[in-house]
Amino acid sequence: MKRALALAAALALAGAAPAHLSVLYAGSLVTPMEGPIKTALAAKGIAFDGEGGGSKKLANYIRDGVRSPDVFISVDRSLVAGLGRRVLRATTFADTALGVGWSDASRFADALQHINGPRLRYVLSLPGFKLGRTDPQLDPKGVYTIEALGLMGAAPLLAPRGNGAQVFPEEDLLARVDTGEIDAGVFYRTEAVARGLHFLAFPGKAAMSDRIGYTLAVMRDAPHPAQAAAFERFILTGRGRALLIKVGLHYR
């Protein structure tokens, strides 16, 4: 009798334990993923184990077997396609715009607040203006940034030799912009809105809205396939959709 009761108690505890979910996601989503998304999943009994970073870096982790997530969310659909049969299914579900984000602590906050997109190049070129960006070797946004500044005729802002002093990891860049150590950073609208920064999209095609595509991939060898499928529904059509729209994603 005692053994039966002990077994029943053990099964009850096992049933009460939260189901785990491993997600690698584009670093531009870190604020909503580690905030409202994680909280909403916890309410559904799912323990969210997320890791944000440059989409290219994360894709390399998966390709090289360094990480084996249930789900991968990339900001570049081609990186998902490059994983081949490792991906069970994938959906490009949303896009956003590229531009500059700044806080009230920026020395150029007033100038940025009172311009439109076409005048942005002028402000970014002002003496002493400190612009931050991410590493094009690790993050698609870093590549988009170089292309966007070229389209705006502002490529000299990257000199000399790529101006490595501008390049920071995603979360580090956000923190430096928050404090005003950097006057503005190049961000997606998504991360700027989620972080509470002011945001101005680059003008015209430089906003890259036709190129940026958030893609959710469920992995073929997902350790927790049921939770992966539940998360997919949550993001594409469920509560997660509303939470991501709130921080600036444009669903397709």
- pLDDT > 70? residue 123: yes
Give residue-wise pLDDT tens across range 50-68. 999 989 999 999 999 999 9
Res 17 pLDDT > 70? no
Predicted pLDDT at 247: 86
Inside any domain, residue 166: yes
Residue 10 belongs to some domain of the structure: no
User: 105 and 199 in one domain?
Assistant: yes
Q: Report if residue 58 sits inside a domain.
A: yes
84 and 111 inside one domain = no
Residues 82 and 181 in one domain: no
This model's pTM is above 0.85:
no
Query: Is 170 within a domain?
Result: yes
Could you tell me if 29 and 76 lie in one domain?
A: yes
Instruction: Say if residue 105 is in the same domain as residue 199.
Output: yes
Indicate whether 146 and 201 sit together in one domain: yes
On whether both 224 and 189 belong to a single domain, the answer is: no
Identify whether 3 is part of a domain. Answer: no
Query: What is the CATH number for 244?
Result: 3.40.190.10
Q: In which domain, by residue range, is 109 found?
A: 98-207
* Structural domain count, the chain: 2
Tell me if 7 is assigned to some domain: no
Position 6 in a domain: no
Q: Which of 102, 101, 98, 79 is nearest to 90 (CA)?
A: 79
Quick: pLDDT tens for 153-190. 998 888 655 556 799 987 789 999 999 999 999 999 98
Asked, for residue 8, whether it belongs to a domain, the answer is no
Return the pLDDT at 164: 60
